[in-house]
Each structure stands twice: as structure tokens, then as C-alpha cells.
Amino acid sequence: MSHDSAPPAAHTPLLAIEDRPVDGHGVVRRIAVDRPERLNALNSATLDALHAAFDAAAADASVRVVVLTGSGPKAFVAGADIAEMSGLTPAEGRDFSLRGTRMMRRIEKMPKPVIAMINGFALGGGLELAMSCHLRIAADSAKVGQPEINLGLIPGFGGTQRLLRLAGRAATLELCLLGAPVDAARAHALGIVNRVVPAVDLETETMKIAEQLAIAAPLALRGMLDCVNVGGECGIEEGLEYESAQFGLIFSTEDMREGTQAFLERRKPSFSGK
């Protein structure tokens, strides 16, 4: 994959966005929360900017994969913005929670793979943000956790629910009740992150995975994401029926014909997303 960057896909003081072309297969869009002076904390404006950025990535046919990270050497996202939260009323607190939940649901339901590149602290809202992504690659120096108990709070952007589904009841209660972060190796052992790599190799290794996804069949990727999302929220029979329906639909695609023919001809497939 070429690492020469195309012009920024968008401009906002809260996000740094760039497109990295993959030869013949669109681009990998890199979105970084860009508030390093606040350890990339999520305030209302940043939540809105992220929501808009993922809407734009979903609508842009050239974008095959999104990589989400944080600017600066210390943090992916160190949490929600405590300065903003401290003065909220109960009604405003609920609205803030719903704002973050909607944005993270937008990521979770993206029709294209989203990789969290966890370059440092992913705490509170930062871990919730990472968990809304489809894959999580962490630097060996990263730390993750749900420390809201130390503020007299509970997770508000889906932390209890996604952590429960990723790591199970025991780990969820440990991280939420005790509020202590865990290192990347423990996060990997608990199933919170998919891979841990040396910090100096984080960008390179993440982009290798992004490139692999960028050249894969886009409609098949979308079908898999849809099936996992549906299956995670319904009973087994409904999930199996949905998978069979999606499997059948794939047979109408040019990519399915290309993939099977390439296999029979013992060559690499070239998927068009049609």
C-alpha cells in the first residue's frame, strides 16, 4: 500500500483526517481525534464531528476501510471531557450519554470495516469508542479501562454493554467496579483487543491489516458485519436465518463470480464492489 497521503478528506479543528490510497482499491481513511492538549477527550463538539466524519466515510464509495486513532503520543482517547460533564444537569447528562451512544452506534453499524488503532490511553469514553470499532489493534504501551467509578459515575457510552459482550461478566465487573486500567497484554487476554504490537510498529501493522481489508470483497465484508451485528442482538434461529438470506444475496454479485472463478483458475481475485 502506498503511504503517500491524498489531500485531507475533511477539515475540522477537532479531527485530523487523511486518505491513504491502496493501489486500485480506493483508500483507507485515517481519522484521528485531534485534541492532544486534552488527551483527546470527547466533548459534545468532538462527538458531533466524529458522527459527521463516519457519515461521510460511509457515503464515500472510495473509502474501503477506516482507521480510528488519537493524535499525540499519549492517548487514543483518555475519556469524556470531565470539564464539560461536571456542570451538567440530570437531563443534560442523559442527552450527553445519548449523543455519544448514537455516534458509537454509527461506527458499530458502519458498512465498512473500522479499526481502532490504540496508541495510548483508552479510558472511559475512549475504551467505549474503541469497543464500537470492528477490530482493535493496541500498542504494547497502551492502557485501557472504565475508571468512571473514581468520578462517582458509570459508563455512559455503552461501556457496560459492549465490554460485557467482548470480555464477559467477570471482567466487566472487575474493570467497572474497581476502575483500574489494565495493560495491553491483559486487555488482549480478556478479548478486549484483537492484537498487541510494539508501539513503534503500531501504524505499520495496523495499515497492513487495513490494506488486507481494502482489497477484500466489499459486499462480502458488509454482509459479514451485518450478520455479526444482527446475530449479537437476537436469538440463534433468527441469526441463522439472517445469515442464510445474506449468503443467498451474495450470489447476485459480480464479486462472488470473480472470487469463485479466480479460485478455480488459481489466480488472485480483483474485487470491484459490485
> Could you give the domains of the chain?
15-214 (3.90.226.10), 218-264 (1.10.12.10)
pLDDT tens digit sequence for 43-72 = 999 999 999 999 999 999 999 999 999 999
**pLDDT, the chain, mean:** 93
Element spanning 121, H or E: strand 121-123
Residue with cell 488527551: 39
Q: Cell 479460485 belongs to which residue?
A: 263
Cα–Cα distance for residue pair 200/214, rounded to 1 Å:
23
d(CA 232, CA 59): 25
- Please give the pLDDT value at position 3: 41
How much is the pLDDT for 143? 98
Task: Give the mean model confidence (pLDDT) for residues 8-14.
Answer: 61
What are 75-100's pLDDT values in tens digits?
A: 999 999 999 999 999 999 999 999 99
Q: What is the mean pLDDT of residues 24-28?
A: 90
Listed in sequence order, the DSSP H helices in 109-158 are 125-132
- Residue 7 — very low, low, confident or very high, per pLDDT cuts 50/70/90? very low
Active centre residues (catalytic): 128, 148
Is it the case that residue 105 has pLDDT exceeding 50?
A: yes
Query: What 3-state class would DSSP assign to 51?
Result: helix
pLDDT in tens, 164-173: 999 999 999 9
